[in-house]
Amino acid sequence: MSSNSPNHVLIVGSVAFDTVQTPAGRVERALGGAAVYSSVAASFFCPVRMVGVVGDDFPAEHMDFLRSRKIDTRGIQVIPGGKTFHWAGSYEGDMNQANTHATELNVFESFSPELPEDYKTSEFVFLANIDPTLQLHVLDQVAKPKLTACDTMNLWISIKKDALLEVLKRVDVVFINDAEARQLTGEVNLTRAAASIHKLGPKYVVLKKGEHGAMMYCTDRMCFAAAPYPLDAVADPTGAGDSFAGGFMGYLASTGEVSDANIRKAVVYGSTMASYNVQDFSLNRFKKLTIQDIDARYEEFKRIVFFEGI
């Protein structure tokens, strides 16, 4: 994999301070947010254009880090006197479910994403976790993307379902975890849940199952399964889903090819990025990661699922 791609990924979502407690430790107001995890993951593959909002309490060192990853930050609004979004959560036991302790929207309360002119022709668009009405506002501004994708969370399924259904009608790919898929559809069985989400609009439904890997539903059936990567220790699952989506979108943009075969590879690159991210808190694992590490783990994924035919 090389990162000399001509295609950009446009990513909108939260930019956050995260306070996170897991059995492995705790961080206070560390760099986080769905757009940050997904943009940094995608940046290993292709150039990224980021859209979000922060307050003037957002440290220059975080902005410098994003720019050092060749992420275009012109789409991040800095609100004078504003406070950056803050999320606090914890994980216990198998760490498959986050317990939210605080969601301080702060500058998100009055945010309206406005895209710089040259962002509007981006071919690959990822609507990371954010209020679905804002996701729609971004979709309204992009010209003719080759591929659009979205993520969401339990909060928006509960309080903004109509807007979310509108987003689903308009995207090609949805990333959703098992609990959210059940909540959205009322189906306990995940195959049925995926089938009913597929009917809502997206051609590809990517079901993330935490430590159990990922499955993809397309056309009229479950069409691909990625094995979980066997990690012997998880430090912090925050941002796993966003890292997955960033790796998936970044890989596709780097090749420019949207085919079923390439989308399967994208699922494995997504799984690779998620598996690295959870090995440390905040963006710490990504700060040390190389493209060689990514390719090596991609090959490991291939090795562990290979089997001979009958």
Q: Which is nearer to ligand AMP, 36 or 253 (CB)?
A: 36
Q: Which is nearer to ligand AMP, 7 or 37 (CB)?
A: 37
Our finding on whether 242 is near ligand AMP (CB under 6 A) is: yes
Return the residues of window 10-49 that contact ligand AMP according to CB under 6 A: 14, 16, 18, 32-34
Q: Which is nearer to ligand AMP, 202 or 241 (CB)?
A: 241
Q: Which is nearer to ligand AMP, 16 or 218 (CB)?
A: 16
Residue 201 DSSP symbol: S
CA distances (Å), origin 64, targets 75, 138, 284:
15, 25, 15
- d(CA 34, CA 277) in angstroms, rounded, equals 13
Q: Which is nearer to ligand AMP, 190 or 195 (CB)?
A: 190
Are the CB atoms for 126 and 149 separated by under 8 Å? yes
Our finding on whether 75 is near ligand AMP (CB under 6 A) is: no
Taking CB under 6 A as the criterion, the residue among 52, 55, 113, 239 binding ligand AMP is: 239
Q: Provide the total of helices (H) and of strands (E) in the chain, helices listed first.
A: 11, 13
Which residue is listed with tokens 């966003």? Answer: 242
How many residues belong to the site for ligand AMP (CB under 6 A)?
A: 16
174-198 b/e with 16+ CB inside 10 Å = b?
bbbbbbbbbbbbebeebeebbbbbb
Are the CB atoms for 169 and 192 separated by under 8 Å? no
CA distances (Å), origin 209, targets 39, 74, 96:
21, 34, 8
Question: Which positions from 199 to 238 touch ligand AMP by CB under 6 A, shown as an x/- string?
Answer: ---------------------------------------x
Strands 214-218 and 221-226: antiparallel
Q: Which is nearer to ligand AMP, 14 or 43 (CB)?
A: 14
Nearest 10 degrees: CA dihedral of 177, 180, 185, 186? 120
Our finding on whether 240 is near ligand AMP (CB under 6 A) is: yes
CA distances (Å), origin 30, targets 16, 62, 70:
8, 10, 21
Return the residues of window 123-142 that contact ligand AMP according to CB under 6 A: 129-130
Our finding on whether 270 is near ligand AMP (CB under 6 A) is: no
Our finding on whether 241 is near ligand AMP (CB under 6 A) is: yes
Taking CB under 6 A as the criterion, the residue among 77, 90, 103, 154 binding ligand AMP is: 103
Q: Tokens in use for 217?
A: 């539903």
In the complex, minimum distance from the CB of residue 144 to ligand AMP, in angstroms, rounded to a whole number: 27
Q: Tokens in use for 106?
A: 């702060």
- d(CA 66, CA 41) in angstroms, rounded, equals 11
In the complex, minimum distance from the CB of residue 31 to ligand AMP, in angstroms, rounded to a whole number: 9
Q: Which is nearer to ligand AMP, 88 or 200 (CB)?
A: 88
Our finding on whether 159 is near ligand AMP (CB under 6 A) is: no
In the complex, minimum distance from the CB of residue 33 to ligand AMP, in angstroms, rounded to a whole number: 4
Residue 24 phi/psi, 5° resolution?
A: -90, -5
In the complex, minimum distance from the CB of residue 5 to ligand AMP, in angstroms, rounded to a whole number: 24
Q: Tokens in use for 284?
A: 């710490």
Q: Which is nearer to ligand AMP, 7 or 32 (CB)?
A: 32
Residues forming contacts to ligand AMP in the complex (CB under 6 A) are: 14, 16, 18, 32-34, 87, 103, 129-130, 155, 238-242
